[in-house]
Amino acid sequence: MSERAHNTRYSKDQHSKGYEDQLDNNLNHLARMILENRNTVFVTGAGLSVASGIPTFRGSDNSVWSKNTVNSATTTSFHKDPLKWYNEFWIESFPHKYTTYQPNNGHESISWLANMFPNVNVITQNIDSLHQQTKQRWPHEQKLVEIHGRMGLYRCMAGTKNVPALQRGHFVVPKKPVVKEEPTCPNQEKNYLDASSFPSALQDVLLGHSSSLLTSVPECPHCAGPLAPLALLFNETYDSHCFYQFGKASKWVEESEAIVFVGTSFAVAITKYAVAQAQNRPLGCALFNINPFQELELRPNLRPKNMLKNAEDVLPRLVEIIKSKLGSHLSEEELEISSNGSSTPTKRSRTPASDSEMSVWESPSADELRKRFPLLHTFDHARYDLDPMLPEPLPQSSVRAALSFDNCRKNHPVRTVEAQINKIWRASQAENPKLFNGLKFRMSGYSFSPSGAFRHKRTQQHRERHSTLTLYLGLTDYKSFRGTNWSPQATQLLSDGVRDFGDAGAYMSQKLGVVSALMNQDGQLVCLRRSAWVGEGHGQLDGPGGHPEPENISILPEDLPSMDEERLQEFSEAALGEIFQSAIDEIVEETNIPRTRLSEPLLMGITRQNNSAGTPSAAFYVKCSATSSEITEWYEKQPSFESAGMLFLTLDELENLMITPVSDINCALTASFEGCIEMLLMHLDRQMLPLN
């Protein structure tokens, strides 16, 4: 299957159930990242404002560049004849009537998200100022960068005649600092003016109150030089005026863990820069693209999630998903999101809100909420997430474990909640007497240090650093899992964790499992059908897997609080060994394959099962030097009670099962196994793993 086919498999029929399920899956993934306080940047383009009545720049007969040549949008063209430039290009292309249009539901949704979550910031290519005009008040002064300028503002053009022509059609980010002469006027690169300071005749034309043409060009009050609109032109760079705030925007992009493109054609430098930054990220960066006409293609280290619908429809849907998860902890005011209730453009006379009109932003402090929430939500449609998806499979020598009492589950302060865990467990045992409350490792988070060259601080010698993943572990048990992650009260517990600790997983079990992509000598993957006696996923296809067992390293929950650092280090190393060893143990136990026929396991990343509040499983790749017939013979000698049969499927067959919506439970993969296979496919695409 081609990369494009994988990326657009539902795009042919956007009203099909499969497409709607995929859309919900993508929105739930994005909602989870926002709720986990992941650094999220919305990059918005002209497509966002179409529902407000403003045409796009490209892609339609009504677009700006279908009527005007980009050669007009340069400082060179301006300086040739500023008056002609205004009358024949600017006033025609950007009539000030645009500023009388209202924000649509897409703008309102972004404002709500940016106001609610300190981790959400906005970079807009649009110069229409609609982001600031939403009924939903938000601190746009701090959280919005208008990287291409704003209509209604003007800057001095004195001394800007000799700007070199750059590549047409791109706003270029300079690779090296450009040496510039000191500006002759403070209104060139630092200050700007609005039309209220202009003579009334100029105001009438520029503000759309008169259909006449200009008879003179606005002049700078400081140096009498010509004023041009504060809008980035095609032969300018982002550092040409401080208003564009490229330093702030680039910092947001570089620190982002999710980038959401809304209504952009990916034809300007800020979008190219954002995609390139995401592609070069060692752990990758989640990319979402909301645009009914423009897809973002798959690239190495990038698997963008395209949502081919209008932003004014998709973004309110995202807000509703988030509100449904946090509704019990939101005030009536926070639950409200202003909209005009229609995508029909309406006009109103308005001016940008002043600072004094802004409501007080009473969200929690950024320091408090910027703590990582590694695990979060129960979702109906999003089956799994890859977090982290490692840039390369790691052997045990490149992984660390940090075992600590601080990484254990917190007891809920409400006694009835803890009592409910016991009640759920008793009911589960009554339904399935074979359930056993075993001790499990709990994963509370991770950190990752990518490989690369660095300079030693003391010796100043260049050295190579190898990739290292650290897993932060505590202890939990299966009963707690059934009563938290797998219970009807999971959503409430997640919200309570955010409220009480700034950590959505604080009250959750988050037991750590293992799952393996086991490749045999015939190039097939070993799949097991889960039996009716297992706790979850009855009848589904799974890879060999289970749980690392704390009892194998002789540790109990009551031991952790009193351990000194030396003992914690010893048990941390033992816990890591148990995690890697359990991948092999589970294969042997479930298939009877001799250990000598198995390779050392390689850790590809962590899958999160979203039907159980992000329960993590370590995903391994293991090779087997045996054929399908040999493995079948070993398996049939002593079948495991956890499986009801064995199948051998190629990667193509598994991928087809993953991308084709199925109603037959016997054709479905477990969420953790599906995530494991996706990691395997990505690593094979990067040639990070051998097939045999």
pLDDT above 50 for 577: yes
pLDDT at 40: 95
Separation CA 464–CA 576 (nearest Å): 24
End-to-end CA distance of the chain: 21
Q: What is the mean pLDDT of residues 178-197?
A: 69
pLDDT at 691: 54
Question: Directed axis angle between helix 490-501 and helix 311-326, to 10°?
Answer: 80
Separation CA 278–CA 272 (nearest Å): 10
Chain segment 207-218, per-residue pLDDT in tens? 767 778 888 898
DSSP state of 41: E
What CATH superfamily is the domain 371-376+386-451+462-685? Nucleoside Triphosphate Pyrophosphohydrolase (3.90.79.10)
pLDDT at 160: 57
- Of residues 17 and 80, more confidently modeled: 80
Of 85-94, 128-137, 575-584, 633-642, which one has max mean pLDDT?
A: 575-584
- Of residues 374 and 431, more confidently modeled: 431
Q: Residue 117 contacts by C-beta under 8 Å, 6 or more apart in sequence?
A: 34, 35, 37, 40, 363, 369
Q: What is the mean pLDDT of residues 416-424?
A: 91
Instruction: State both tokens at 333.
Output: 């005011």
The alpha helices in 36-136, defined as continuous H runs, are 64-67, 75-80, 82-84, 91-93, 105-116
Q: Tell me the C-alpha to C-alpha distance, in Å, between residue 333 and each of 141, 359, 474, 505, 517.
A: 21, 12, 39, 27, 48
Of 195-209, 233-247, 577-591, which one has max mean pLDDT?
A: 577-591
Do 350 and 96 contact (CB within 8 A), yes or no?
Answer: no
Separation CA 600–CA 541 (nearest Å): 23
Instruction: State both tokens at 65.
Output: 């560049």
pLDDT at 488: 87
pLDDT at 663: 46
HEC-encoded secondary structure of 531-559: CCCCCCCCCCEECCEECCCHHHHCCCHHH
Instruction: State both tokens at 228.
Output: 């041009």
> Which backbone phi and psi does 140 adopt, to 5 degrees?
-65, -20
Separation CA 449–CA 465 (nearest Å): 9
pLDDT above 90 for 527: yes
CATH code that applies to domain 17-54+102-147+245-349+364-370: 3.40.50.1220
Q: Tell me the C-alpha to C-alpha distance, in Å, between residue 198 and each of 151, 202, 677.
A: 15, 6, 64
Separation CA 306–CA 585 (nearest Å): 39
Instruction: State both tokens at 74.
Output: 């340069």
Of 29-38, 158-167, 276-285, 309-318, which one has max mean pLDDT?
A: 309-318
List 258's β-bridge partners, or say none.
40, 286
pLDDT band at 6 (very low <50, low <70, confident <90, very high): very low
C-alpha dihedral, 339 to 341 to 343 to 348, nearest 10°: -60
Report the candidate in 632, 637, 648, 11 with the shortest Cα–Cα distance to residue 309. 11
- Of residues 60 and 229, more confidently modeled: 229
Q: What is the mean pLDDT of residues 492-501?
A: 88
Separation CA 666–CA 482 (nearest Å): 24
HEC-encoded secondary structure of 364-384: CCHHHHCCCCCCCCCCCCCCE
Do 429 and 435 contact (CB within 8 A), yes or no?
Answer: yes
Would strands 305-307 and 286-290 be described as parallel, antiparallel, or unpaired? parallel
Place of tokens 């982290």: 388
| Per-position DSSP letters for 493-523, written without gaps between them | HHHHHHHHHS-TTTTS--B-EEEEEEE-TTS
Do 614 and 38 contact (CB within 8 A), yes or no?
Answer: no
Determine what percent of the chain is predicted with pLDDT higher than 90.
40
Our CA angle for 489, 494, 496, nearest 5°, is 95
pLDDT above 60 for 243: yes
pLDDT above 90 for 83: yes
118-130 per-residue burial string, b: 16 or more CB within 10 A, e: under 16: bbbbbbbbbbbbb
Q: Residue 515 contacts by C-beta under 8 Å, 6 or more apart in sequence?
A: 542, 543, 544, 545, 607, 617, 618, 619, 620, 670, 672, 673, 676
Q: What is the mean pLDDT of residues 69-79?
A: 80
pLDDT above 50 for 342: no
Rg (CA), the chain: 29
- Of residues 9 and 556, more confidently modeled: 556
Separation CA 409–CA 510 (nearest Å): 8
Separation CA 129–CA 149 (nearest Å): 9
Q: What is the mean pLDDT of residues 148-170?
A: 65
- Of residues 357 and 558, more confidently modeled: 558
pLDDT above 60 for 76: yes
Q: What is the mean pLDDT of residues 78-102?
A: 80
pLDDT band at 354 (very low <50, low <70, confident <90, very high): very low
pLDDT above 60 for 446: yes
Q: Which residue type sits at 313?
A: D
Separation CA 86–CA 309 (nearest Å): 36
pLDDT at 537: 60
HEC-encoded secondary structure of 662-689: CCCHHHCECHHHHHHHHHHHHHHHCCCC
pLDDT band at 689 (very low <50, low <70, confident <90, very high): low
Environment class of 400 (CB within 10 Å of its CB; exposed 0-12, middle 13-18, buried 19+): middle
pLDDT band at 563 (very low <50, low <70, confident <90, very high): very high
Of 363-367, 447-451, 584-588, which one has max mean pLDDT?
A: 584-588
- The pTM of the full predicted model, rounded to 2 decimals, is 0.55
Do 478 and 436 contact (CB within 8 A), yes or no?
Answer: yes
* Spans of all domains in the chain: 17-54+102-147+245-349+364-370, 57-100+149-238, 371-376+386-451+462-685
pLDDT band at 389 (very low <50, low <70, confident <90, very high): confident
The rounded mean pLDDT for the chain is 79
HEC-encoded secondary structure of 137-155: CCCHHHHEEECCEEEEEEE
pLDDT at 2: 30
Separation CA 684–CA 692 (nearest Å): 11
Determine what percent of the chain is predicted with pLDDT higher than 70.
75
Q: How far is CA 150 from the centre of its chain?
A: 28
pLDDT at 303: 76
Separation CA 561–CA 581 (nearest Å): 26
**Under CATH, what is the fold of the domain 57-100+149-238?**
SIR2/SIRT2 'Small Domain' (3.30.1600)
pLDDT at 400: 95
Our CA angle for 291, 138, 332, nearest 5°, is 95
- Of residues 4 and 451, more confidently modeled: 451
pLDDT at 640: 67
pLDDT band at 465 (very low <50, low <70, confident <90, very high): low
- Of residues 357 and 120, more confidently modeled: 120
Chain segment 48-64, per-residue pLDDT in tens? 999 998 877 554 555 55
- Of residues 572 and 663, more confidently modeled: 572
List 617's β-bridge partners, or say none.
513, 607
Q: Which residue type sits at 620?
A: F
- Of residues 468 and 57, more confidently modeled: 468
- Same fold? 17-54+102-147+245-349+364-370, 371-376+386-451+462-685: no
pLDDT at 641: 64
- Of residues 679 and 518, more confidently modeled: 518
Q: What is the mean pLDDT of residues 555-569?
A: 91
pLDDT at 171: 40
Would strands 286-290 and 144-146 be described as parallel, antiparallel, or unpaired? unpaired
Chain segment 275-320, per-residue pLDDT in tens? 988 877 766 688 999 999 888 887 666 778 899 999 999 999 999 9
DSSP state of 226: B
- Of residues 293 and 455, more confidently modeled: 293
Which range has the worst mean pLDDT, 291-295, 379-383, 393-397, 521-525? 379-383
| Per-position DSSP letters for 578-613, written without gaps between them | HHHHHHHHHHHHHH---GGGBPPPEEEEEEEEGGGT
Chain segment 596-632, per-residue pLDDT in tens? 999 999 999 999 988 888 899 999 999 999 999 999 9
Bond before 488 cis per omega within 30 degrees? no
Q: What is the mean pLDDT of residues 227-255?
A: 90
Q: What is the mean pLDDT of residues 656-663?
A: 61
